[in-house]
Amino acid sequence: MVVIQRKFRRPMETDELVDQVAMICRSHHSSLIPLKGASVSGNYIYLVYEYTQGVNLSEALRNRRNPNFTVLSNWISRIQIASDIAHGLDYIHHSTGLGLGFVHNHIKSTSIIVTEPSFHAKLCHFGTAELCGETPSEIQDSDSEIKPKKSPELKKCGSKGLKFEGTRGYMAPEFQWTGMATVKSDVYAFGVVVLELISGKEAVKYEFDEETGGYVRVSVIETAVKASEDGGVGVRGWVDKRLKDSYPVEVAEKLVRIGLECVETNPNNRPDMGRVAGWISQMYLESKTWAEKFAPLTDFTVSLAPR
C-alpha cells in the first residue's frame, strides 16, 4: 500500500467526505490505481492506494543516467500508454458505475505509472481532487460550456495551496487564473502528456540561448505546433529519435493533431475524453495492423542438404 498526505483546500462536511470516499473506493478501472481507504487528522487527509510495480512515465521516457535509452523504445508501447490514459480519464469524467462526474486534476507524466513487465499505464491519485476540496462542491457536467474571460477580469487566487508541485507545463491557461479544476483542464494536461509520449521531450524545459547568454523557456506544445505547421516532414523530424523511424507515420501525425486539439487555449474547443478515447483506440488498432505487417520474419528453417 502507498499512503499519500494531502491538505484540505476547503472545508469538507463529514457526510460529504464519507460518501465521496465510498464511491471512489467502489470504482474499478484497469487504468486507475485503486483507493483503498482514507483517514482524517486535523487539516490533513491520508489516502491509502494500492501499490503498483513500475516507474512513472517521466522516468520511463527520460532516463537521467542514459538519455539515449528508454524502455518505451517501440511505437506500440507508446500508443498503448496513450490509450490506457485516455480510457482511464474518460472513466473518471463520466464516472461509469458511479453516477457522478469527477475531475482528476493531477494529470502529468510523474503521476502515471508504467507497469512492469506489460508496459500498461495506470493513473495515480484518482479521487484526491474531490477528497481534498480542489474542485467545486457541485460536480461539473463534462458537456457544460465554460465561458472564457479576459485574464484581467479573472480573479487570481493567491492561495499557496494552488501551487501544485510538478504541474508547470500542464496547467491550462484558465486554471492558472482561476485555480478551478475542471474536466477541460484535465483534457489540456492529457494533451501535454500525449505530446510528451510522441516526442520524448519534457513538458517544459529551459535551454541556454547563446545569443542572449540567458535561458529561454521551451514547451513541448510550442515545438509540436511548429512541427505541425511544417507539415508531415516537420512532424517526422519532431518524433522521438529513439523510435528509429519505426512507427506508422500517419498514425503519429493524427495523434499529434489530437494532442494539439486537447491543448487549445479556449477550453470549449477541447474535445471530450470519450471522443478522444475512441479516436486513440482506433489508432491503436491501426498501429497493431502496421506492426503485424512489418514484423520481422521469424518462422523459417535452414537446410544445408544438397538440392
> Which helix (H) or strand (E) covers residue 32, if one does?
none
- 136-178 per-position pLDDT tens digit: 655 455 555 555 444 333 334 333 333 443 377 999 998 888 8
Per-residue 3-state assignment (H helix, E strand, C coil) for 59-123: HHHCCCCCCCCCCCCCHHHHHHHHHHHHHHHHHHHHCCCCCCCCCCCCCCHHHEEEECCCCCEEE
Nearest Cα to Cα of residue 220 among 259, 250, 187: 259
- 178-209 per-position pLDDT tens digit: 878 889 999 999 999 999 999 999 999 888 77
Every domain of the chain and the residues it spans: 2-137+165-293
| CA-based radius of gyration for the chain | 21
Q: Looking at residue 97, what is its pLDDT?
A: 65
The separation between CA 117 and the C-alpha centre of its own chain, rounded to angstroms, equals 20
**Grid-cell match 486513440, residue found:** 280
**Residue of higher predicted confidence among 66 and 211:** 66
> How many contiguous H segments (helices) and E segments (strands) does the chain have?
10, 8
**Residue of higher predicted confidence among 120 and 155:** 120
DSSP 183-221: HHHHHHHHHHHHHHHHH---SEEEEEETTTTEEEEEEHH
- 216-233 per-position pLDDT tens digit: 888 999 999 999 987 656
CATH code given to domain 2-137+165-293: 1.10.510.10
